[in-house]
Amino acid sequence: MIVRGLAIVTSIILLSLFTAERSHAATFLPFGSSDESAPPVLEVERQDHQGVSLILRSPGAYLDELEVAGQTFHTVTMPDQGMIIDPGKPALPTYTHFLAVPKGASVEVTVQTENLEYGDYLVYPSQPPAADGVGLPTPPFAFDPASYSSRNLYPSAPVLADGRTTLRGLDLLLLRFFPVQYLGAERTLVTHPTIRVRVTFKGSQGHFFHTRTYSPWFDGLYRNLVVNRDSLERVKYDWRRSGGEGADYLIVTDDRFLPAAKRLAKAKRLLGLSTRIVTMDQLGRSAEQLVAYIKNAYSTWQPAPSFLLLLGDSEFVPTNYRTKHPYNPGLTGTDLYYAAIDGEDLYADISHGRISVDTLEQAEHSVNKILAYEFDPIDDQSYYTRAANAAYFQHAGNGYAERRFVLTSEETRTHLQKKGLAVDRIYVTEPDVNPLYWNKGTYANGEPIPDELRRPNFAWDGDREDIIAAIEQGRLVLNHRDHGATWGWGDPKFTVADVLSINNGKKTPVVFSINCQTGWFDNETDKNNSTPFEEVHFSEAWERNPQGGAVGVVAATRVSYSGWNDMIFKGFYDAVYPDFVPGYGGSTPEYRLGHIVTYGKVAGENIWAKWPEYKTVEFEMFHWFGDPSMQLRTRYPRKLGLTHPAEIPFGSTEVTIETDLPGTHVALLQHDEMIGAGHLEQGRATISLFRPLTDNTLITVVGSAHDAFPYRSVIRPSATGAAFVSATSVRYDDTAHGDGDGIPEAGEKVSLAMTVNNFGKAAVQAVSARLTLGDRYLNLELPMLGIGDLNPGDARPVNGFLLAIAPETPDGYEATLRLTFSAEDGLSWNQELSIVVQAAPALELDQTSVELTLQAGSIGKATLVVRNSGLGILDLGLSHQLLRDRDAGGPDDAGYTFRDSNDPKGPAFVWEDISSFGTAIATWHPVSNRPGTDDGYSDPLALPFPFPYYSAVHTAVHAVSNGLLTFAPISDSTNYGFKIPYAYKNLSELIAPLWQNLTIGSDSAVYYHGNAERFIVQYQDVWIGSADKYRATFQVVLYPSGHIDFRYQRTDSITLMVAGIQDKQAITGLLVYYRPKANLAGVAARIRRKVEWLGYSPKTAKLPTGQEMELLLAFDARDLEPGDHAAQLVLRSNDPDHGKIILPILLHVIE
């Protein structure tokens, strides 16, 4: 049967990917074609500014059987296609692509299909993604009965248009094709051998780009990500925009890293990127202020930034916290929102990266590696032809893989081999595991693994020694697919210490660490991470290894997910090698690492899944830790040649340059600043200067191209028939009013020593010089200087002007001076000079740690003397972190932790029986058709003290029959068995000592009693279920400090033990117990509220040179339990040698 129809499509569906390889046991279901080998093909029949016509031809699908829990399902897959991911619903093939939409256009989508039906198939349901963290479980099997009994087609249409979005000013429409739909009630596949789509653009303005937001650095990304790439206009970019007030490349850093930032900025300008540096001190210290600054730059600068580098760890350059992570406690740390600023989507409109360093030495080391990679690449042919893959075969049983870690690694390895790279297999599994097949189900079809990977042909014993040996020998890239943690890779196990032991010098690879949490760089600012400030996490170790390490790392900041991770990873390599993922993307390679990460995320979404919760965190988590504009090398660099004039005359506005390598980018510089730039697309171009040439300084010419040694030479400005006056050999003289070292320093006065030249061919009379500036730290006391007459060729040494530098000028402060020469005939010549001021304070403390002993319930104080023994004003800021025992349960987002009496550091089990004197609850208000004693709540129970709980303070609680305390009446059944935190109906803010289906039986009771020290609610002999076969007796104890005790005297057979706490929004919570068949009789658990016991004053200070101050530390043990309580006091300053000092604080609390 063939049915044809039309549809206008506007709804949304969620996606995932199946492997492109057919199963060894799969059968082919032809859609009117017998060609099993042909994958679906998308043809662009027509494209222009008015619309796009597409046709998807699908020859057929592969069917395989998969048994789960005694039920036989059918997997339906198609070569090189994605799979719908909507957990529990049928997993069906899909094909996804972006279309570019012209400016001003609305969109209309019409669809025409051929339909063929095939019956009696129970389609395997899609499954939730599994976390790639060390020790994290695979989610339980998901099945949605309603989808399989539905009489509506799923998905609802063969093509869906998934809304409009924007990438760097280019408007996009996402189309999702579904060659197979499913009618669950009839177990019928509805297939579409041919799908024709017409997308009409109404109201098109005839162009896709706005001139201001268009970036030539994004051009390849634009064209690779859209199907109608040939419709995009070729923008003739005016490179003189790079000489405007904006910048192509923005570096955001802290004052202490300025020397490294300036060196990198100079190098970026040599490569043709106009670059600006801004410090957090200039912007304010918050992420919100930085977002606002970047949005303004993107909206108003000419040019708008195309690249963003955050230079410094998160305590120096903050990161963003917006989205609650599905698995990790708290919010996901991400830099994405500094870059995804055009619209409300998750696509980076500015290519971004971070260098996560704590000291200037580390920053200089990272910059050195980048400069070596770009300007002085290693001269070793083998380095460019070798890569390494590390992965783990996670066994599901019977020789099958549970994940696709090794499969993804093998797919990547095969493609890299085709490109001429030798790729190490550093694979591992357990000694008793015999790998035979890839995953059968979510990630693959159960294909046999290659013979060369079968035992005994392959040992499956990859380890740290193999990884270290490979990197020290030299590998262009190092890939890892498996589980991860902040400390490193699960298998082959590779830790921070292992990374720091590598000694590979200049043989620095790019590392793709595709797993969980290895990029968790923000432990210093993530309030849910209790690791010490000084702890170095995995990606940071690669960056900071002083003996080499990596030139950059791709890694995730939190727990990430299989499937998503695999396809993002494949997307990274499809960006570099566009034929890696068949049928996806364009044909132009993308080598810039920031763009590679953006492309990989978009490809992962389109190939694998569109599940909003996981898309958001996957886009947020994966970061490039390195220079976003750096180009990944793929071969031994070739020599680059340029042809250009040896000199050009003063007043020139352009210069013509030729190259033997089309696509070369050329930059022209004077005084390390760009004066011209251009792209030699056809091997020859006329480069426009940003302004007419008036400076006699030699012009540096730099040519750069991918996989080429940079070209560097000079062009000499030459004189014409007129006079041309300019200063050379400019230096600052502090002999008379300073220390005579020739370095401008805070508090000094300096003059300018220079040579004034007439480079022209005519004499000029009565020349004078004027120096001008507008600056808060610099004051001109003598702004004028007479020079006199100058003949052609004269070079006259002079020393004049007087510039006073304020004592409070910060170290590294840079200002621009304008020098103007004037003659009596009205001629004038301008130059810009720069001055950098040094003022280095030195922070000294009178103690290396602070330790104090207090009795519980008391307060105390200590003092710390801070001294500035250096030059310049010391700018000091303080913060702190309270540390907890690493092995305590939690913390949740609010800092609650717990221990129970099975823990040596936990509370002792003490039972304070109040049944003989406590007040029994007599009234239970029902909330369902059952009695209140079965499903109800009490009247409010007044507390004898204000009880702090999360962000609120309460004076009463309600007891709930099902083992809960709430702070408001409930209005519906409380049910039970949910994993805290959980927003169940009207339940939110609650305390759950034993959340179960309990009944207050005829011989049961609930008592309460309180005083100024504690408030106890005791559930006595309550029934578990609705009969009296099993019983439970337990207490919940509230303390004025906000601490909570759970005490269990009796817990008979309990199907599922659930205990914990959660806040009013049911977003933040602490799960104490979630155990099936648990018996906790004789166990007590104590939940501790985070108590801010350390204070200090002042929190900020400015300390002039030679002065000292007392810092007062205040300790409050009134809400602390006996024991040791540790903290870290962090002192940040502009001391270049000790910019961050971590002072250990220890408080002993005794009875």
Give per-10-residue mean pLDDT for the chain (1151 aa). Answer: 27 29 62 68 92 93 86 86 81 90 92 92 87 69 90 94 88 92 95 95 88 87 92 81 79 94 94 94 89 91 93 96 84 96 91 96 96 93 96 94 95 96 97 93 86 96 97 98 94 96 96 96 82 84 97 95 90 94 87 96 78 79 97 95 91 89 93 89 87 83 94 87 82 88 85 89 92 89 94 92 87 83 89 81 91 92 92 82 78 87 91 96 88 90 94 92 92 75 74 92 95 96 86 96 95 86 85 85 93 90 86 91 89 81 94 85
952: its two tokens: 């609120």
Q: What is the DSSP letter of 756?
A: E
Q: Is-contact 702 666, C-beta < 8 A? A: yes
Query: Both tokens of residue 404?
Result: 């696709």
Nearest Cα residue to 614 out of 574, 542, 578, 563: 563
* Both structure tokens of 373: 């990679």
What is residue 18's predicted lDDT score, i.e. its pLDDT? Answer: 31
Q: Assess contact for 1090 and 894: CB atoms under 8 A.
A: yes
Q: How far is it, in rounded angstroms, from Cα 31 to Cα 40?
A: 11
CA neighbor of 838 nearest in space, from 752, 977, 744: 744
**Contact by Cβ (8 Å): 564, 513:** no
Give CA–CA dist 367/263, Å, rounded. Answer: 8
Q: Output the pTM of the full model.
A: 0.70
Cα–Cα distance measured from residue 494 to residue 496, given in angstroms and rounded to the nearest whole number? 7
DSSP string covering 471-539: HHH--SEEEEES-EETTEETTTTEEHHHHHH---TT-PPEEEEESSSTT---TTT-TT--S-TTPPPHH
E-state strands within 606-645: 622-625, 638-639, 642-643
Kind and range of the H or E element at 64?
Answer: strand 60-68
Torsion of CA 540, 542, 543, 548, to 10 degrees: 150
Q: How far is CA 531 from the centre of its chain?
A: 19
Give the separation between CA 675 and CA 654, rounded to whole angstroms.
10
Tokens of 162: 């998934």
Dump strand ranges (E) for 184-269.
Answer: 188-191, 194-202, 249-253
Tokens of 887: 């092995």
Rounded CA separation 608/564 (Å): 6
Query: Which domains occur in the chain, in start order?
Result: 5-231 (2.60.40.3800), 239-338 (3.40.50.10390), 351-625 (3.40.50.1460), 638-718 (2.60.40.10), 725-837 (2.60.40.10), 843-886+1092-1150 (2.60.40.10), 897-1088 (no CATH)
Q: Nearest-CA neighbor of 992 among 1056, 942, 1040? A: 1056
Q: How many residues does the chain have?
A: 1151
**Paired residues of 123 in beta bridges:** 74
Q: How far apart are CA 795 and CA 756, in angstroms?
A: 6
Are 703 and 801 in contact, with CB atoms under 8 Å apart?
Answer: no
CA 1136 to chain centre: 28
Long-range contacts of 37-41 (CB under 8 A, 24+ apart): 38/79, 39/78, 39/79, 39/80, 39/81, 39/582, 39/583, 40/78, 40/79, 40/80, 40/81, 40/95, 40/179, 40/583, 41/583
Angle at 879 between CA 875 and CA 883, to 5 degrees: 150
Q: Which amino acid, residue 453?
A: L
Residue 17's pLDDT is what?
31
969-996 CB burial, b ≥16 within 10 A, e <16: ebeebbebebebbbebeebbbbbbbbbb
* DSSP 8-state code for residue 508: P
**Paired strand residues for 307:** 249, 351
Give 1042's DSSP letter. Answer: S
CA dihedral (255, 260, 264, 267) in degrees, to 10, reads: 130
Q: Specify whether the CB–CB gap between 667 and 676 falls below 8 A.
A: yes
CA distances 850 to 376, 768, 865, 883, 1129, Å, are 48, 62, 12, 15, 10
Q: Is residue 252 packed enough to be buried (19+ CB in 10 Å), middle (13-18) or exposed (0-12)? A: buried
d(CA 406, CA 56): 31
**Beta carbons of 570 and 411 less than 8 angstroms apart:** yes
Max Cα–Cα distance, the chain, nearest Å: 116
Backbone angles phi, psi at 677, to 5 degrees: -160, 160
- Hey, how many other C-beta atoms are within 10 angstroms of the C-beta on 1106? 10
Q: What SS3 class is residue 929?
A: coil
User: 853-869 b/e with 16+ CB inside 10 Å = b?
Assistant: ebeeeeeeebebebbbe
pLDDT of residue 984: 63
Q: Tell how far CA 222 is from the center of its chain.
A: 22
Identity of the residue numbered 446: G
List the beta bridge partners of residue 29: 61
Is 347:165 a contact under the CB 8 Å cutoff?
yes
Q: Check if the beta carbon of residue 1134 is closer than 8 Å to that of residue 256.
A: yes
CA proximity to 37, closest of 62, 67, 7, 18: 62
CA quadruple 437, 439, 443, 447: dihedral sign:
positive
Task: For residues 860 and 726, give the distance between their C-alpha atoms in angstroms, rounded to a whole number.
Answer: 67
CA 608/CA 615 separation, integer angstroms:
10
